[in-house]
Amino acid sequence: MKLLKLTFVLFMAIVLQGMAQDFDLLIKNGHVIDPKNKIDGVMDVAIKDKKIAKVSKNISEKSAAKIIDAKGLIVTPGLIDIHGHHFSGTISHRDYNNSFSALPPDGFTFRAGVTTVADAGSPGWKNFQIYKENVIDRSKTRVLVFINIVGEGMSGVSSREQDTTDMSPKMTAMIARQHPEIIGVKIAHYRGHEWGPYEKAVQAGEIAKIPVMVDLGGADPALPLSTLLFDILRPGDILTHMYGGDHSGHGPKEGTLNAEGKVWPHWFEAQKKGLIFDVGHGGGSFLFRVAVPATQQGFYPNTISTDLHTGSMNAGMKDMLNVVSKMMNLGMSLQEAITASTWKPAQVIQREELGNLSVGAEADVAIFRLNEGEFGFIDSSGAAAKGTQKLETELTLRAGRIVWDLNGIGAKIWE
C-alpha cells in the first residue's frame, strides 16, 4: 500500500512538473533585436510547438523544458537572404541551373543564421518542377524563388539567357500563381540593346502580383538606367548588385557613381520612390571603391544579400553574416543591418509572417556573438579593407528546432 502511494505521489509530481512547463524552449538574457515589433533590449524569448510563444523580460526558467542562456549575445529573427543560387545539380555548362556552381541551401544557411533563402532566378517556368522536387521539398531551410523570365532559367549567359523568344510573361506568371514558393520574377544577364525583356519581366510580375528583381547584363552603347528606374520598374521592384562598379556592363556613365565619384542623384530619387536596392555581393558585384564613397554619401541598401554560389562563397563574399558584418563596418548600425536582413526583406518579398519574433510566428531564431577587434574583409576585385566588428553565429533555430550550435550552448554537458 505504501509503495502504491509513493508511486502515485511521484506520478503526480511528474504531471505537475510537466504542467508547469508552459514552453518547450526558453532563450534567456539575450539582447533581442526585432525590428518589426520595435524590440531592442535584453529580453527572454519563449517557444512552444515550433512557434514564438512569448517575448518578455524575466520569464521564469521553471516554465520551460529547455533553457538556452544567451547572456552577452544578440537574438534576432532568422536572417532572410533574398539572392542566392541553390539549383545544385550535375549538368555541365548550365551556370546556376541544375549545375555544379549552385549550392544546396542547408549546408550554407544555418551556420550564417539564415533560415530563409530566395533563389534569384536559377529556375524558369520550364524546369521549376524539378527545382521544387530537388531543392524546395528536400531542404530544411525555407526556400523561396524569384522565377526567371527565361523559361530555361539561369542556364547560360552567352546563349539561353539571351533568347528573347523564351521569355514568356504568360507562362512565367501562370507557374508563379500556382506555387506560393514563388515570390518574384528575375531577369538576369541580358545583354541586348533594348528594354523589351525587362518589360516582359515586369508584365509577368504585374499578372502574378509579385516584385521583379533585376540583374543587369549590359549594353553597348550603354542604355540610360534612369529609363529602367523610372519608366519600367515599379515601387517594390529590386535592383541587385548596387555596389557593382559600372553596374554590370552599362559603362562608367551609368554606374552607381558619376565621374566625380558621387552617387547619381536619380539613384537616390529612385530609392525614395520605393525601388529596392539590394547588395547582392556575389563573386564580381561588390567593390570597395564603389561601396565606400556610396555609403559615405548615405547610399545604403534596403536589403542585404549574398548572391551565394561556389565562386562567391570562396572569395570575398563568404556568407551572409560576413556581408552583414561588412555593411556594419561601412557605417550601418547593428540594428539597421539586422533590419535589412530580416524584416525589410520579408516585406519586399511580401511574406510578412517572416523576419520577426511576433507571438505565433514560426520560431526561426538566430543567436549571434558580436566580436570586436581587428578584422579583414575582401571585395570582388580582391581588394581588402579593415574592420573593427564581426558577427559570428552561435546558434540557429528553424521552426523551433536547433539546426546550428557552434559552441554547444543549446546542448547538455555530457557528464
The tens digit of pLDDT for each residue in 20-38 reads 589 999 999 999 999 999 9
User: 377 lies in a domain?
Assistant: no
Residue 54 counted as an annotated binding residue: no
What percent of the chain shows pLDDT beyond 70?
A: 93
The single residue listed with the C-alpha cell 525601388 is 275
Query: CATH number, domain at 191?
Result: 3.20.20.140
For residues 250 and 350, the model is more confident at 350
Establish whether 31 is an annotated binding residue.
no
Please count the structural domains in the chain: 1
What pLDDT score was predicted for residue 21? 86
314: left (phi over 0), alpha (psi -120 to 50) or beta: alpha
**Does 209 belong to an annotated binding site?**
no
Q: Is 60 within the bounds of a domain? A: no
Mean pLDDT along residues 1-10 = 54
More confident residue, 115 or 15: 115
- Give a yes or no: residue 32 inside a domain: no
Percent of the chain clearing pLDDT 90 (strictly above): 83
pLDDT digit string (tens) for 278-300?
999 999 999 999 999 999 999 99
Over the chain, what is the mean pLDDT?
93
In a domain, residue 382? The reply is no
This prediction has a pTM of 0.94
Lowest mean pLDDT among 84-98, 144-158, 162-176, 249-263: 249-263
DSSP state of 23: B
Q: Is 212 contained in some domain?
A: yes
Question: What is the rounded CA–CA span in Å between residue 190 and residue 160?
Answer: 10
C-beta separation of 213 from 121 below 8 A: yes
16 has pLDDT over 50: no
Query: Is residue 1 predicted with pLDDT exceeding 70?
Result: no
Domain contains 22? no
Range of the domain at 202: 78-358
Q: Is-cis flag, bond preceding 301, omega within 30?
A: no
Say what the pLDDT of residue 308 is.
97
Distance (Å, whole) CA 413 – CA 279: 41
pLDDT tops 60 at residue 11: no
Residue 12, pLDDT score: 54
Q: Is the pLDDT of residue 111 over 70?
A: yes
Residue 15, domain member (yes or no): no
